[in-house]
């Protein structure tokens, strides 16, 4: 397993700015233990997205530092850092190609792992397929189709039934919520220890929203640290803690119960 192996996060006096001498995050400090589920809230412009950009060094700290598992991230190679942290943006980008390609572009993982991630994100029906071999046999019985790639496309209410199911350009054949689920599945395949999710602001249907939250709270993410930038309080009501940002400062950091 690659670094970070745990997912402890320590932010120390972090100052972040887009324009020199115009700080957006004003020396913020907080720490999070591995596995914690943190809701991040605050008014528009409070600095929530800026914080997530700083965690991936899309914006560099102008002073202070961020430590992951005790290592200052400014000392980590950018590629290494970004490969090991998953960010799920408000509108995730998917590639044109198969679902398998989207989850494992370099074919680094066994099919079982990819299937498993799809199952755990409720993107494939529990009962429909349990192994790739059973897919093949189901498909083989549909004689008119000779090639498994074509078959693939069976696509029941946004639920994949084959690893070869086709994702269109920009994922336009999936809903926004489903694209976020695919991004979560990607995080599962890679076993990311740190996941930053920017909840979709546009409306996601209740069912999909529920699937996203159930996935996040499932045991498969128990060992991952998660920041969820939330726009609906309902989303984070049973998170471990809530980080309230206000004008680039930490206004509160406590359990939802105490807030
Ligand atoms: P929202 O809830 O609307 O997504 P947010 O809390 O994510 O808001 P940020 O996007 O972090 O807010 O923005 C914080 C501040 O940084 C805002 O004042 C914004 O104008 C400024 N800002 C954001 N991106 C840039 C940028 N690329 N260049 C300059 N200023 C920026
Ligand atoms: Mg934002």
What pLDDT, on the 0 to 100 scale, is given for residue 23? Answer: 97
| Domain assignments of the chain as residue spans, ordered by start | 1-91+193-259, 95-173
Please state, in angstroms and rounded to a whole number, the distance separating the CA atoms of residues 239 and 169: 34
Q: Residue 68 pLDDT more than 50? A: yes
Bridge partners, residue 85, by sequence: 194
What pLDDT, on the 0 to 100 scale, is given for residue 144? Answer: 34
Ligand 1 in reach of 225 Cβ (< 6 A): no
| Cα–ligand 2 centroid distance for 250 (angstroms) | 16
What pLDDT, on the 0 to 100 scale, is given for residue 199? Answer: 85
Tell me the average pLDDT across 242-258: 96
For the ranges 1-5, 51-55, 149-153, 236-240, the one whose mean pLDDT is highest = 51-55
Please state, in angstroms and rounded to a whole number, the distance separating the CA atoms of residues 154 and 113: 20
Residue from 4, 145, 172, 153 nearest 83 by CA:
4
Per-residue pLDDT reduced to its tens digit, 33-42: 999 999 999 9
Residues 86, 208, 118: CA angle, nearest 5 degrees: 55
Q: ipTM of this model?
A: 0.98
* Predicted TM-score (pTM) of this structure: 0.83
What pLDDT, on the 0 to 100 scale, is given for residue 191? Answer: 87
Per-residue pLDDT reduced to its tens digit, 71-123: 999 999 999 999 889 999 888 889 999 999 999 999 999 999 999 899 888 88
What pLDDT, on the 0 to 100 scale, is given for residue 124? Answer: 80
Residue labelled with tokens 């199911």: 165
Ligand 1 in reach of 218 Cβ (< 6 A): no
Q: Residue 3 pLDDT more than 50? A: yes
Give the tokens for residue 219: 């045991």
Task: Work out the burial of residue 101: count CB atoms within 10 Å of its CB; fewer than 13 is exposed, 13-18 middle, 19 or more buried.
Answer: middle
Residue from 169, 216, 194 nearest 2 by CA:
194
Length of the chain: 259
CATH architecture of the domain formed by 1-91+193-259: 3-Layer(aba) Sandwich (3.40)
Per-residue pLDDT reduced to its tens digit, 128-162: 444 444 343 333 333 333 333 223 333 344 567 78
Pocket test for ligand 1, best of 24, 197, 233, 247 (most atoms within 8 A of CB): 24
Q: Are 226 and 24 in contact (CB under 8 A)?
A: no
Cβ < 5 A residues, ion ligand 2: 48-49
What pLDDT, on the 0 to 100 scale, is given for residue 133? Answer: 40
More confident residue, 244 or 91: 244
């Amino acid at each position: 397993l690659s670094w970070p192996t745990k997912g402890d996060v320590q932010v120390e006096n972090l100052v972040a700015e887009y324009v020199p001498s115009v700080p957006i995050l004003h020396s913020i400090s907080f720490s999070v233990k591995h596995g914690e589920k943190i809701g991040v809230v605050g008014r528009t412009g409070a600095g929530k997205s800026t914080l997530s950009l700083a965690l991936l060094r899309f914006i560099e700290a102008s002073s202070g530092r961020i430590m992951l598992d005790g290592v200052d991230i400014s000392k980590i190679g950018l590629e290494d850092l970004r490969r090991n942290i998953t960010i799920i943006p408000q509108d995730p980008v998917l590639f044109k190609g198969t679902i398998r390609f989207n989850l494992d572009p370099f074919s680094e993982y066994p099919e079982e792992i990819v299937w498993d991630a799809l199952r755990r994100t409720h993107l494939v029906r529990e009962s429909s397929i349990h192994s790739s071999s059973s897919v093949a046999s189901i498909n083989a019985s549909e004689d008119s189709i000779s090639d498994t790639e074509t078959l693939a496309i069976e696509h029941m209410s946004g639920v994949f039934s084959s690893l070869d199911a086709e994702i269109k350009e920009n994922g336009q054949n999936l809903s926004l919520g489903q694209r976020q689920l695919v991004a979560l599945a990607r995080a599962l395949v890679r076993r990311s220890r740190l996941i930053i999710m920017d909840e979709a602001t546009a409306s996601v249907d209740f069912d999909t929203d529920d699937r996203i939250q159930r996935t996040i709270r499932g045991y498969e993410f128990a060992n991952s640290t998660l920041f969820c930038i939330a726009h609906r309080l309902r989303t984070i009501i049973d998170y471990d803690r809530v980080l309230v940002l206000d004008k680039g400062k930490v206004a509160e950091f406590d359990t939802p119960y105490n807030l």
